[in-house]
Amino acid sequence: MSADLDARTPPSRYGAQRVHRDAIAVALGSVINAVLGVAFWAFAARFVVPAELGVMTAVLSVITAVGSVIAAGVGDAYTAVLPAVGRARPAVFRRGLRLSALLSVVAGVTSGLIVVASLTEVRADYAVAALIAVGIVAWSAYGLQGSTLIAIGRANWAPPSNIAHGVVKIVVLPALCATIAWQSVPVAVVIASVGMVVVLRPAIKRLIDTSDGLPTTGTISEDQAMVEFRRVVTRTTALSGLNLGVLALTPFLVTLFAGPGEGARFALVFSIVATLDFIGASMAVSLAVHASGEPGSAAAMAKKLLARSGVVTVLGSIGAAAVVPVALYALNPAYDMGSTLEVVVILCAGSMIRLPYLVWAALRQSERRLRAPLVLSGATAILLFAMMPVCCAALGAVGAAWAILAHQAVLTAGAGIVFARNYFGDHGRGRGAVPRSSSRKKGN
Q: Could you tell me which residues come within 8 angstroms of residue 307 by beta carbon, excluding any fewer than 6 positions away?
A: none
Handedness of CA 291, 296, 299, 305 (dihedral sign): negative
Per-residue pLDDT at 361? 80
Max mean pLDDT among 60-64, 77-81, 119-123, 326-330 falls in 60-64
263 falls in which pLDDT band (50, 70, 90)?
Answer: confident
Determine, yes or no, domain membership for 198: yes
Determine, yes or no, domain membership for 262: yes
Per-residue pLDDT at 398? 93
Determine, yes or no, domain membership for 5: no
With 0-12 / 13-18 / 19 or more C-beta atoms within 10 angstroms meaning exposed / middle / buried, residue 410 is middle
* Closest-CA residue to 161 (of 127, 195, 131, 184): 195
- Is the pTM here over 0.85, yes or no? no
- Mean pLDDT throughout 64-90? 83
DSSP H/E element including 373: helix 371-395
Determine, yes or no, domain membership for 6: no
Q: For 194-236, write each residue's pLDDT tens digit.
A: 999 999 999 888 888 887 666 666 667 777 778 888 888 888 8
Counting the structural domains of the chain, the total is: 1
Mean pLDDT score of the chain: 80
Query: What are residue 211's phi and psi, to 5 degrees?
Result: 55, 40
Identify the domain containing residue 345 by its residue range. Answer: 13-439
Q: For 346-377, write each residue's pLDDT tens digit.
A: 999 998 888 888 888 877 776 767 778 888 88
* Cα 48 from chain centroid (whole Å): 27
Q: Which residue has the higher pLDDT, 25 or 115?
A: 115
Give, in order, the Cα–Cα distances in Å from 153 to each of 21, 29, 162, 360: 10, 15, 17, 21
Determine, yes or no, domain membership for 175: yes
Q: What angle do CA 219, 202, 130 make, to 5 degrees?
A: 105
Q: What angle do CA 200, 202, 204 make, to 5 degrees?
A: 70
Max mean pLDDT among 168-177, 268-277, 359-368 falls in 168-177
Q: How far apart are CA 420 and CA 403, in angstroms?
A: 26
pLDDT at 324 over 70: yes
Determine, yes or no, domain membership for 3: no
pLDDT > 90: percent of the chain:
23
Determine, yes or no, domain membership for 4: no
Q: For 331-353, write each residue's pLDDT tens digit.
A: 778 888 888 899 999 999 998 88
Determine, yes or no, domain membership for 40: yes
